[in-house]
Structure 1
Amino acid sequence: MFGRFEKLVHPYPDALPPPPPRSFFAFLWTCSKGVRPWLLMVTLFTAAIGAFEALLFSMMAHVVDLLAKVQPTQLWAEHGRTLTLLAVVLGASVVFAALQALFKYQGVFGNFPMRLRWNFHRLMLEQSMGFYQDEFAGRIATKVMQTSLAVRDTWLIVTDIMVYVVIYFVTLLAVVGAFDLWLVAPFLGWLVLYVAALWYFVPRLGQVAQAQADARSLMTGRITDAYTNIATVKLFSHAQREAQFARGAMQEFMSTAYAQMRLVTGFETVNQILSVGLIAATAFVSLALWSGSLVGVGAVAAATAMAFRLNGISHWVMWELATLFEHIGTVQDGMATLSRVQSVVDKPDAKALVVPRGEVVFENVVFAYGGKKRVVDGLNLHIRPGEKIGLVGRSGAGKSTVVNLLLRLYDLESGRILVDGQDIAGVTQASLRRHVGMVTQDTSLLHRSVRDNIVYGRPDATEAEMVRAAERAEAADFIAGLSDAKGRKGYDAHVGERGVKLSGGQRQRIAIARVMLKDAPILLLDEATSALDSEVEAAIQESLYRLMEGKTVVAIAHRLSTIAAMDRLVVMDQGRIVEVGDHATLLAAGGIYARLWEHQSGGFLGEELDEDGTPAPVTAG
């Protein structure tokens, strides 16, 4: 039975949802997709339970009146049917409560937030690189987690608790009104004053809760940032500084907590005054009516019991409403991030990229990272199929940006980039990046096994293919000696967050193995051997040459000797191409390339030089 209800809501829908709307109620409504029927069932059963509970007081009042009039020996003989009906009502309330709990806890409680986390996480994975450059990773993760729970709890408080309270109170007024209309007066008076108290306190609690949610995200983001960059913190001995940096966010959070608790204390005090007043007024009115023989003793007992019951409910409602507004604040805080429109998206009619040759063409490309200064300014470059070019230039010349634009990590301001005649803006991003392999300077590995990191390039690769790629990247020897804290060894050993357990050279060789396994027709090398010492670089250089064989290659390197033997060198300055040619031609021209070459010493170990002292052309091993 439990399993059937647990399968009502699918927590991992296949379809990727669009970014949710930015208005609060539209956001909540969109988030409830796939859960709405079961939220409705929870609401209906909750309403029935609320009505049952209030009607129970009426029936108990009737029983009290019976007990005051009937002889004990005649109770079952004269009123057995009434008592049996009461037992049936009590039994029905158990069934309704059980069904409500099954729909609420088995169907909705766990599945609803997990469904939201699944959808929010996939939306965040589709965001552009620019999005992640403006946010803490920990802050985004916090918003994904806490907003999912806040959306669930907002819906459950409204559809479950608030419905219960409304139905219960309406039924309660009908019950006491049936005794005598004067008994309604204390409850209506209490309701007016209670709503006024809610009107004053709850919105203020909501404002504080929204500020608190943002402060919590900031606090989590700062703490996570310190952990993520723990090597830098240790290197500069700034543990105390990072603690103080986090303390500033903690203090901001505490300020919101103090403000929240002041409001809660005030509300608790006012609520207790109203509750005592309701009990006293109800007792006074009911006793006055009983003294005038206008109501029976059962009405006095029922009305007073209802007043005591409302005393407990009022405290509960206050906390639930305060929690509701806290959740509302959390949702509003998360909406700004989770509803962000994706800046790089596939066109509706986007097709898969087909790369039979590997020709790449930049046509008057302009890009500025959203600012006024152009990082790439009118770039025109034709890379022939199988050609190997080196991008050269000072820092900030736009080299890495060109590579990022070819991967379509950003959309162009103007111009277009063609791969085998296909505009990359019109093909799917996934198909584009499947045909491009890249090794970067800042190699980031997943906190998983070495095997998982290598086959990330081609998940369907066999074990033999994976091992062969590691061998070609000169990584197999050190991998065999790896182990982690859980005793996993070799290819099963985990590498730590971002590969922190490995040296820079080891991370780089795993990254190279990953790209070798991917075997894409277009290869991008952005300082691919920068983390390697000369001996290791020489060892894998032949493997890189074999990797480049038959591929279109774009390589960036500050160490010019590693790219001097490319088919063509393209020199960039301030986002423009200023020189094009081979190594010897550019040296003879005496321009930027020649000056950069003069500032650097010879090539890497094992480098073969031509008679004029330039590196030999790239050939397969």
Structure 2
Amino acid sequence: MSLLDPVYRLFESWIDPFKPRQDYEPPNRLLAYVWYYVGQAKWAFAAMLLYGFLNAVIEASLFTFVGKTVDILAAAETSGIKAQGWSGLAQNHGWQLLVMLGVVAAGRGIVIAYGALIEEQVIVPGFFTMMRWQSHKHVIAQSLGFFQNDLSGRIAQKVFQGGQATGDMMIALLQIIWFIAVYAATTLTLLSSLDIRLGGVVVLWIIAFVVIARKYVPLIRHHGKLTAEAGSLLTGRMVDGYSNIVTVKLHGASSSEEHFIREAMVGQYEALKKFTRALSGVRISLSSVSGLMIAMIGWLSIDLWLAGEISTGSVAFALALTLRLNLLLGRLMGNLNGFFRSAGTAQNTMELVAQPLGLLDAPDARPLEYSEGHIEVRNLKFHYGKGSGVIDRLSLDIRPGEKIGLVGPSGAGKSTLVNLLLRFHDIEGGQILFDGQDIAKVTQDSLRSRFSLVQQETALFHRSVRENIAYGRPGASADEVIAAAKKAHA
């Protein structure tokens, strides 16, 4: 057990990822979608915002300290304080050195520890898991058709990646982009305090950066979204093939499966090339502008020093601050790339997760009241939304205990009728009654809990045999599980 465990637990308790909600359906617009989840952890992200500000101010202060230290040492050498050693420095500049030491040795460490705890103990485990859980809760409530019309691997990937992509996007925005924005503003203020012309060069630098960003950011965002979608499709196809590997092997379909995967991989490859071209363009443009601005600030600083308007320490401070700003702006563009890559993934996830539920319980739906198991189908119509075909004006009366067989060619609607009895789809006309209750007016879970369905294909979860047998009755005893297995001749 670590001495820091109580501190970790304190921060980890900020977000309860499994806290129930009335509604799990997020908005289908990106900003509203992000805020739907971020708003549930707003204090954690506000703490991250504060960290970005404090970290930027301290970072800029370090270079101020470098300049101050150079000036103190230069003055000590010319005034004879150097000969007095540490006692002379302490007597003449003790408070300045003490403040700088306190910020570097203690203040900076505290701020960085605070930021690490917010990111690693609050955002990553709490927010990521909360978003994944709530996305899963909404997706798992979707209709059967939702899952039949997409690849299971792709759905799972989007649900899992959505939490990380949105969290990474917010961390990049508040911890990195915000940090660099504050640092740039601090640099502008400090250099302007030396000479307004130095501040003017920084302003030109920032304007050039904004122009470059305005040109490339939309491109990066667009191609980031396309790359994320292509990657999701590729993953879905690969998982689909691996999940059905027996079918692939039995039919000798390795070649056709390879072509199917290659087609998706080529699409992802082409999308990725366009995305990386935009990244290269922005890096080249930014590097050219930054080189020119560093040279201008260096030349102007030396010119001011020659004119006696700034000290040697100020030159060192200005150049160090400028070089650091150059590194941070380069890092900013890289993080903007990551930010929009994450935004593309988040938007791609949103388009799946934020879909309204396709099959809802009626507002006044009640649990099914079982009495004897009498099923009535009255003038049933169902055409899969095509206007005709499949089932038209079908009526059945299945009495309690009665066994019936449905016979017909493939596509006649036998499986469709079973799916309608279970309300996997809403009927387009007529009624289905269970013990006199319209199944459209009872809850879906209570209806399906009264049916036992042997499907055409074998479906096993990657869990124990007992868990598979008892899936419909999680509280079943060992004896009940064994009895069920014997009845099924398992």
Same fold (TM over 0.5): yes
CA distance in 2, matches of 1:119, 1:12: 8
The secondary structure found in structure 2 opposite 1:439 is coil
Task: Say whether residues 1:26 and 2:32 are aligned partners.
Answer: yes
CA distance in 1, matches of 2:175, 2:338: 14
Letter in 1 for 2:70: V
Task: Say whether residues 1:474 and 2:467 are aligned partners.
Answer: no
Task: Say whether residues 1:182 and 2:197 are aligned partners.
Answer: yes
Task: Identify which of 188, 208, 215 aligns with 1:173.
Answer: 188
Corresponding position of 2:300: 285
CA distance in 1, matches of 2:415, 2:256: 33
Q: Could you report, residue by residue, the CA deviation over 1:416-437 in whole angstroms, capped at 9, with x for unpaired residues?
A: 2221222211211111111111
CA distance in 2, matches of 1:440, 1:262: 50
CA distance in 1, matches of 2:482, 2:431: 39
Q: Could you report, residue by residue, the CA deviation over 1:31-69 in whole angstroms, capped at 9, with x for unpaired residues?
A: 224322101101112111111222333343233222222
Task: Say whether residues 1:317 and 2:332 are aligned partners.
Answer: yes
Return the structure number with greater helix share: 2
Corresponding position of 1:588: none
Alignment of 1:110-259 (within 5 A): 110-259=125-274
CA contact (8 A) 1:366 1:374 kept: no
Corresponding position of 2:4: none
The secondary structure found in structure 2 opposite 1:277 is helix
CA contact (8 A) 2:24 2:137 kept: no
- Deviation, structure 1 residue 283: 0.9
Structure 1 pair 254/16, CA: closer, same or farther in 2 (3 Å)?
farther
Letter in 2 for 1:92: G
CA distance in 1, matches of 2:476, 2:209: 67
Letter in 2 for 1:324: F
CA contact (8 A) 2:366 2:443 kept: yes
Corresponding position of 1:101: 116
Letter in 2 for 1:326: R
CA distance in 1, matches of 2:141, 2:42: 26
Task: Identify which of 69, 92, 116 aligns with 2:75.
Answer: 69
Letter in 1 for 2:64: S
Task: Say whether residues 1:56 and 2:58 are aligned partners.
Answer: no
Corresponding position of 1:12: 18
- Deviation, structure 1 residue 384: 2.8
CA distance in 2, matches of 1:348, 1:306: 63
Corresponding position of 1:382: 397
Q: Mark the runs of 5 or more structure 2 residues left unpaired by the alignment.
A: 1-6
CA contact (8 A) 2:124 2:167 kept: yes
CA distance in 2, matches of 1:265, 1:456: 52
The secondary structure found in structure 1 opposite 2:452 is strand
CA distance in 2, matches of 1:147, 1:119: 11
Mean Cα displacement is larger for which, 84-93 or 163-172? 84-93
Corresponding position of 2:101: 87
Task: Identify which of 424, 429, 433 aligns with 2:439.
Answer: 424
Task: Identify which of 87, 92, 116 aligns with 1:78.
Answer: 92
Corresponding position of 1:603: none
Task: Say whether residues 1:44 and 2:50 are aligned partners.
Answer: yes
- Deviation, structure 1 residue 363: 2.7
CA distance in 2, matches of 1:5, 1:18: 25
Task: Say whether residues 1:433 and 2:439 are aligned partners.
Answer: no
Q: Could you report, residue by residue, the CA deviation over 1:472-496 in whole angstroms, capped at 9, with x for unpaired residues?
A: 2222xxxxxxxxxxxxxxxxxxxxx
CA contact (8 A) 2:24 2:135 kept: no
CA contact (8 A) 1:417 1:423 kept: yes
The secondary structure found in structure 1 opposite 2:397 is strand
The secondary structure found in structure 2 opposite 1:379 is strand
CA distance in 1, matches of 2:174, 2:429: 50
Task: Say whether residues 1:450 and 2:474 are aligned partners.
Answer: no
The secondary structure found in structure 1 opposite 2:264 is helix
CA distance in 2, matches of 1:53, 1:45: 12
- Deviation, structure 1 residue 16: 6.4
CA distance in 2, matches of 1:242, 1:443: 23
Alignment of 1:321-340 (within 5 A): 321-340=336-355
CA contact (8 A) 1:55 1:175 kept: no
Corresponding position of 2:429: 414
CA distance in 1, matches of 2:402, 2:181: 74
CA distance in 2, matches of 1:15, 1:364: 39
Corresponding position of 1:555: none
CA contact (8 A) 1:65 1:298 kept: yes
Q: Could you report, residue by residue, the CA deviation over 1:281-312 in whole angstroms, capped at 9, with x for unpaired residues?
A: 11111111222222222221111111110121
Q: Could you report, residue by residue, the CA deviation over 1:163-199 in whole angstroms, capped at 9, with x for unpaired residues?
A: 1111111111111111121110221111111111112
Q: Which runs of 4+ in 1 moved over 6 A?
A: none
- Deviation, structure 1 residue 470: 1.5
Letter in 2 for 1:183: L
CA distance in 1, matches of 2:437, 2:189: 73
Q: Could you report, residue by residue, the CA deviation over 1:437-475 in whole angstroms, capped at 9, with x for unpaired residues?
A: 111222312122211111113221211121122122222
Task: Identify which of 358, 373, 382 aligns with 1:358.
Answer: 373
What is the aligned length? 475
The secondary structure found in structure 2 opposite 1:340 is coil
Task: Identify which of 306, 331, 339 aligns with 2:321.
Answer: 306
CA contact (8 A) 2:216 2:278 kept: yes
CA contact (8 A) 2:191 2:199 kept: yes
The CA RMSD measured in Å over matched residues stands at 1.7
Q: Could you report, residue by residue, the CA deviation over 1:102-136 in whole angstroms, capped at 9, with x for unpaired residues?
A: 01111111222222222222222111111111101
CA distance in 1, matches of 2:22, 2:345: 24
- Deviation, structure 1 residue 387: 3.0
Q: Could you report, residue by residue, the CA deviation over 1:574-612 in whole angstroms, capped at 9, with x for unpaired residues?
A: xxxxxxxxxxxxxxxxxxxxxxxxxxxxxxxxxxxxxxx
Q: Could you report, residue by residue, the CA deviation over 1:348-403 in whole angstroms, capped at 9, with x for unpaired residues?
A: 33211111122222233222222232422123333333333332333322222121
The secondary structure found in structure 2 opposite 1:373 is coil
CA contact (8 A) 2:224 2:341 kept: yes
CA distance in 2, matches of 1:159, 1:373: 55
CA distance in 1, matches of 2:391, 2:19: 40
CA contact (8 A) 1:360 1:383 kept: yes
The secondary structure found in structure 1 opposite 2:404 is strand
Normalised TM-score (structure 2) = 0.93
CA contact (8 A) 2:28 2:350 kept: yes
The secondary structure found in structure 2 opposite 1:408 is coil
Q: Mark the runs of 5 or more structure 1 residues left unpaired by the alignment.
A: 476-621
Corresponding position of 1:341: 356
Letter in 2 for 1:450: V
Identity fraction in percent? 36
CA contact (8 A) 1:61 1:302 kept: yes
CA contact (8 A) 1:16 1:119 kept: no
CA distance in 2, matches of 1:462, 1:122: 27
CA distance in 1, matches of 2:57, 2:459: 59
CA distance in 2, matches of 1:397, 1:206: 47
The secondary structure found in structure 2 opposite 1:152 is helix
